[in-house]
Amino acid sequence: MRSEASKGGAFTLLLPALLFIALLFLYPFGYGLFLSLTTAKGQPTLANYARFFGDARDLRTVWVTLQIAVPITLINVALAVPFAYYMRRGMRGERAITFFLIVPITLGTVLVSEGMLTFMGPAGWLNQLLMALRVVKEPYRFTHNYLGVVISLGIQGFPYAFLMLLGYVSGINPDLEKASQILGANRWQTFWKILFPLMVPGIAISFCLNFVMAFSVFPSAVLLGQPSGPTRVIAIAAYQWAFEKFNFNAASAISMMMAAIELIVISFVLAWRSKMYKGASMVGKG
């Protein structure tokens, strides 16, 4: 297996994937970086970034997007942890439950947003129910605002975080839990001292992927929010510069900022993970 010939063979087999990543990802990414650092005529400049930081309307999108993405990612993951914990050994109706969780992921943002407009609209079933239960007197505004975007990200993000964490929790050896209880720990202690530390890698990764999804929110911010102002997220700004003003240089600068901010948040989460993980060197059964 380790002969020279097989090394060459390995490279040949990797070649399509390497070409793919180079041509369809690295090259566009590098091209975007190049565009962001040049003028329309190809002269090097920092003006695109300067413009972004100088334009209050565009700069605000960073704050707007973080305000949407951070809370809903935290909520999704914080809810997913107890739910995954509860279902860690399987239960009756698990298949039905997971089916309903997977449906919104499969249908995608566009259909969920489109459906929310009717279901959560002023005459929709949700408001009818809330008024019948006398929770609200007048129809509550769930759509065309910040809340609508956040709800749509919750409907799709929660199942994602939950199913992902379920994979991690159900992989933890149940003997660890038993051992902890035999040694006199109560449920609470067992959870915080044993299961939670073992879940940390899963929590960190599902946080990251959920955040990536929420931070690059685009269709639902347009359909369910107020894309001209309160939910003008960074992806909308990048899109508008590219495809409405046809200024790909300015658009690339914004999309590079988008990647930079996202990578900063992700590296914070991964730093937290590595700090936590030292505490628990025991590895659960995979």
Partner 1 sequence: MRARPRISSVLFFAAIAAYVFIVLGILLTVVLDSLSKGWYSGILPPYLTTEWYKYAANDHDIPSLLSVTFTVVIADVLVALLIAFPAAYVLARQDFKGKGIVLSLLLLPMIVPPMTYGIPLAMLCYIFHLASKVSGVILVNLVPIVPFMVLVLMPFIEQVGANLESAAKMLGASRWTIFRRILVPLTLPGILTAGILSLVRAISMFDLTYLVAGGKSQTIVVALYADAYAAGARPPQAVDALAVIYFLIAMVCLIIALRFVSPTQMVFKLK
Window 131 to 170, contacts with partner 1 (CB under 8 A): 155, 158, 160, 163-164, 166-168
- Is 178 a residue that touches partner 1 (CB under 8 A)? no
CB of 50 to partner 1, least distance (A): 19
**Chain-centre distance of CA 19, in angstroms?**
27
- Is 18 a residue that touches partner 1 (CB under 8 A)? yes
**Interface map 25-64 toward partner 1 (x if CB under 8 A):** xxxxx-xx--x-----------------------------
> Among residues 194 and 262, whose Cβ is nearest to partner 1?
262
> Among residues 95 and 278, whose Cβ is nearest to partner 1?
95
What is the distance between the alpha carbons of residues 183 and 190, in angstroms, rounded to a whole number? 10
> Among residues 162 and 194, whose Cβ is nearest to partner 1?
162
DSSP result, 229-281: TTT--HHHHHHHHHHTS--HHHHHHHHHHHHHHHHHHHHHHHHHHHHHHTT--
- For the record, the structure tokens of 216 come out as 């690059």
CB of 5 to partner 1, least distance (A): 10
> Among residues 71 and 115, whose Cβ is nearest to partner 1?
115
Assess contact for 200 and 281: CB atoms under 8 A. no
Assess contact for 88 and 169: CB atoms under 8 A. yes
Q: Which of 26, 159, 30, 7 is nearest to 87 (CA)?
A: 159
Stretch that binds partner 1, among 38-46, 47-55, 211-219, 274-282 (CB under 8 A): 211-219
Q: Which helix (H) or strand (E) holds 134?
A: none
222-241 residues in contact with partner 1 (CB under 8 A) are: 222-223, 235, 238-239
What is the distance between the alpha carbons of residues 109 and 123, in angstroms, rounded to a whole number? 22
73-132 residues in contact with partner 1 (CB under 8 A) are: 79, 83, 86, 95, 97-119, 123-126, 128
- For the record, the structure tokens of 198 come out as 């073992």
Stretch that binds partner 1, among 43-51, 55-63, 201-209, 271-279 (CB under 8 A): 201-209
- Is 269 a residue that touches partner 1 (CB under 8 A)? no
> Among residues 71 and 171, whose Cβ is nearest to partner 1?
171
CB of 120 to partner 1, least distance (A): 8
DSSP result, 54-118: H-HHHHHHHHHHHHHHHHHHHHHHHHHHHHHHHTTT--TTHHHHHHHHHHHHHHHHHHHHHHHHH
> Among residues 73 and 255, whose Cβ is nearest to partner 1?
255
Assess contact for 173 and 143: CB atoms under 8 A. no
Assess contact for 195 and 282: CB atoms under 8 A. no
Tell me which of 194, 215, 221, 232 binds partner 1, using CB under 8 A: 215
